[in-house]
Every structure is written in C-alpha cells, then in structure tokens.
Amino acid sequence: MKQIFVTGGAGFIGSAFIRLVLDETSDTQIINYDALTYAGNLENLEGVDSKRHTFIKGDICDKDSVLNSIPDNCDAIFNFAAESHVDRSIESANEFVNTNVLGTQILLDAAREKNVRRFVQISTDEVMGSLPESDEAFFTEDSPLEPNSPYAASKAAAEHFVRAARETFGLETIITRCGNNYGSRQFPEKLIPLMVSNAMNDEPLPVYGDGKNVRDWVYVDDHCRGIWLSFEKGKSGEAYNIGARNELQNIEVVKSILDILGKPHSLIKYVKDRLGHDRRYAIDSTKVEKELDWKPKVSWEEGLQATINWYQENVDWVDHIRNGEYKEYYKKHYGMEVGAK
C-alpha cells in the first residue's frame, strides 16, 4: 500500500483529488489532514471509502500535530491546504501568510523529519502575475514569478520555500500550477458557484469591472489527474503548469450559466472592480502534455453542464453554506444581501 498525506482534503480540489485517487488506484491509503476552516466541509467527503481514507482535523501550522499525523513510510505529501480566495486576501492578508507560507514551511520540515519520499506543492498560475490581453502570450514553466495579489504573493513565497527545501536539504519536490478550476463542491465565493447559486435564487450576479478579465478554466478532475501524474511521473525539482487551453472572459462564463439555467441576462449587475484585478491568465501546457502525457478529458460544455447539474441536485449543500458566515461576508464584500430566503 502507498501511504499519502493530503492536506486541505475537505476543500474543493483536495476532496476531488481524494475521490479520484481512491477510485483510480487500489493500493493507496490516504491520511486527510484539514483544519476545517470556513472553506473545509466534511460533506465533501461523504461516501468515500473509509477503509482507505482517514480524516484528521488539524492545522498545518501546528508542528506537533503535523508530525504526529504523518504516517511512517509516507510516500508523499500533497499540500492543498491554503487560504484560497483573492478577495479575502485583499481584505486581510495575515491568514494567507500563516497558512500558505508558514504552514508550507512547517510541512516541509516535517517531510524531512519523517523521511517522506516526495513533496507535492499545489500552486497556482496566479504566481506568474497577469498577461496582456493579446492572445500571443502564455504562462510557461519559465515565466518569472510576479504575483500581484496578497494571495498570489503567499503562494509564490511558498514555492520559494519548496525550492529551498530541495536545494538545501535534497527533499524531492514537485510544484503544480493550475488555472481556474470548476466543478462540484466549490465554495460559492468563487465565480462559477457564486453565479450559479445566485442565478438559481434569482439574485443579482455581481460582475467586477467590465467583465472582460480572462481566466483559463480547467475541470477539477482533470487538474487532479495532472497532480497525480506529476507525482508518479514528474521529475523532482520541476514545476508543471496544468491548463486546458480554455480561455474565457468572465462575462462569457456568466452568460453561459444564465443560458443553461434559462435565466435572464438582466440578472447581471456590474459592480466595482477588484483592486489590482489581474487581466488575463493563460497556460501553455505543452510540458504536461509531452512529459506526463496529460490532457484534459472533460470539455468546457460538458464540465459546465455537469457542474450546474450538481448544484441543482445539491441545494442543501449550498444552503448550509449560504446561511452561515457567508451571509455576513457577502454583505460586507458586495453591500448586498444573499440567501435571504
């Protein structure tokens, strides 16, 4: 049996990764270590094979707890745990520095102490900053790290500590950098689930600025397969950019959601732009395609429809979130009520 330690496995991508690994391998035992912040949700793990999955509630900044939780003979740490929302990092960056930077360093130290074979850092295309609007430029693995938001800065800093652990101590490391993920169980502070849940409730859809910022969308399961392949086939010390060559303007995404749900475009409400809003992300994924034999399996049309279906079929999941701390966050951030019904 392979033993792997997954942090942040109760979140959107971490839980999808756990389901994928349990479904597609028969010899992997998973310890899922998650602090259950506002974004962590045990409902995301309902139905997973409990014989091969153990959940431990814990903070990656708590060194003793981390050391006690990493199993002996651990094959890999997959570090998904993070504060992940750009808007929240603009409001306050402290938690981003704690979890994303300090937490990563604590995991790196623990990986060395426990002789973990490989450390896989789940990073993001946002560490490379923003691209011009022309479609000539793409992020490659050689693009400089030029983070613009506090979130991106914390993820870039984490990458530097991962590099330092390899160069200084010889730890085997892999870094993956993906574009914007979408799929089931994404917390509705992010563009797609926010727009889907607001549209389902006939509430305004708040589009920042002119709506023409471009993101490169990847279906979450495709991202997770890329992470697994980079662990199995990737070279230590390398970074792998994962992108589905699926650039879309935000306004195109929002209109597609309304069209699929049969809701009017009049629900769109242009609001004040995000501070320092990155204009365009776009990934050149030649390296993962050639070296890891990765390519996306799910088309945008299929993936968006499946995502919307999931939110329609899981209204309780959405309601649990939209009734808690989320309501206060939403009112403070957007100056509008949500989920009031």
- Tokens read off for 304: 């968006």
CB-neighbour burial class of residue 340 (10 A; exposed 0-12, middle 13-18, buried 19+): exposed
Residues in the site for ligand NAD, rule: CB under 6 A? 7-8, 10-14, 34-37, 39-40, 59-61, 80-82, 84, 99, 103, 122, 124, 155, 178, 180-181, 187
Q: In this complex, which beta carbon is closest to ligand DAU, that of residue 163 or of residue 279?
A: 279
Question: What is the rounded CA–CA span in Å between residue 185 and residue 40?
Answer: 10
Instruction: Please check whether residue 54 is in contact with residue 25, taking contact to mean a CB–CB distance below 8 angstroms.
Output: no
Single out the residue of 150, 206, 234, 243 in contact with ligand DAU (rule: CB under 6 A): 206
- Tokens read off for 135: 């479609």
- Tokens read off for 14: 């971490």
Question: What is the rounded CA–CA span in Å between residue 292 and residue 286?
Answer: 10
Helix 315-322 with 325-334: angle, nearest 10 deg:
70
- DSSP β-bridge partners for residue 202: none
- 7 is in the binding site of which of ligand NAD, ligand DAU, none (Cβ under 5 to 8 A by kind)? ligand NAD
Single out the residue of 154, 184, 213, 256 in contact with ligand DAU (rule: CB under 6 A): 213
Question: What is the rounded CA–CA span in Å between residue 213 and residue 249?
Answer: 5
Stretch that binds ligand DAU, among 36-44, 123-131, 285-293, 312-320 (CB under 6 A): 123-131
Q: In this complex, which beta carbon is closest to ligand DAU, that of residue 35 or of residue 171?
A: 35
Determine if 322 is a binding residue for ligand DAU (CB under 6 A).
no
Question: What is the rounded CA–CA span in Å between residue 174 and residue 183?
Answer: 24
Q: In this complex, which beta carbon is closest to ligand NAD, that of residue 208 or of residue 270?
A: 208
Q: How far is the CB of 213 from ligand DAU (least distance, A)?
A: 4
Q: How far is the CB of 35 from ligand NAD (least distance, A)?
A: 4
Binding-site ranges for ligand DAU (CB under 6 A): 84-86, 124-126, 179-180, 190-191, 194, 206-208, 213, 215, 250, 274, 281
Catalytic residues: 125-126, 151
